[in-house]
Amino acid sequence: MDTNVTIKKLSHRFPGAIIATHSFRGDDTAVVNKESILEICTFLRDDQDLLYNMMMDLTAVDYLGREPRFEVVYHLYSLKHNRRVRIKAGVSEADATIDSIVAVWVGANWFEREAFDMYGITFKGHPEMRRILLYEGFEGHPLRKDYPIKKRQPLIGPVN
């Protein structure tokens, strides 16, 4: 079946890096090893049968109490084949880093900054890893599940 070609090709090409796959409600998903995320993304973008030339969305999810705690989620889309795939990479709390994919899709720049802003996951090799939606001086990462809803932030003033 055509829809599964991405998962098949991925598992074939990176047998060691694919941890799990599923297709819940028709969304092809591959959980991958975070070490090989850059390779996998490059492969997904350049392989002639896949050609995932658009990085639609990049976000993270905090599964507090699970190991690895975070999941960085990539939603890719192939204009040529009109196909979508979801790639997930687990990131542990102790080593909350993952390779940046800005080199693969330049549009990932701000999305990675947002993930860093909200979850505190550092993207290695990102050209400008700083907060984007929140301000410098904001304490904590608000979308982590252990960030209290009613937490108060310290008052900041002008830098000068």
Partner 1 sequence: MADLEKDLHTEHMVINMGPSHPVTHGTVKFLVTLDGENIVDMKVDIGYLHRGFEKMCENGTWQQVIPYTDRLNYVSPLINNVGYALAVEKLIGIEVPERCQYLRVIASELSRISDHLTNVAAGGLELGAFTAFLYFVEARELVWDLIEMLCGARVTVNYVRIGGLKNDLPQGFQDKTRAVFKEVRRLWSDVDKLLTKNRVFIDRVRDVGDISAEEAIAYGFTGPCLRACGVPYDVRKAQPYLVYDRMDFEIPIGETGDNFDKYLVRMEEIQQSMKIVEQALSRLPDGPINLDLPQYRMQPKEDIYHRIDSLIFHFKTVIDGIKPPPGEVYLAVEGTNGELGFYLVSDGSGKPYKCRVRPPCFALTAAMPRLMKGRLIADIVPTFDMINMIGGECDR
Binding site for partner 1 (CB under 8 A): 24-25, 27, 29, 53-57, 59, 61, 73, 75, 77, 79, 82, 84, 86, 105-111, 114, 118, 131-135, 142-143, 147, 149
DSSP state of 80: T
Give 5 or 54: the residue with its C-beta nearer to partner 1. 54
Give 34 or 113: the residue with its C-beta nearer to partner 1. 113
What's the rounded Cα separation, in Å, for the pair 114 and 158?
A: 23
Sheet of 54-62, strand order = 18-22, 29-32, 83-91, 70-78, 54-62
Residue position matching structure tokens 């907060």: 131
Give 82 or 154: the residue with its C-beta nearer to partner 1. 82
Nearest distance in Å: CB 141, partner 1: 11
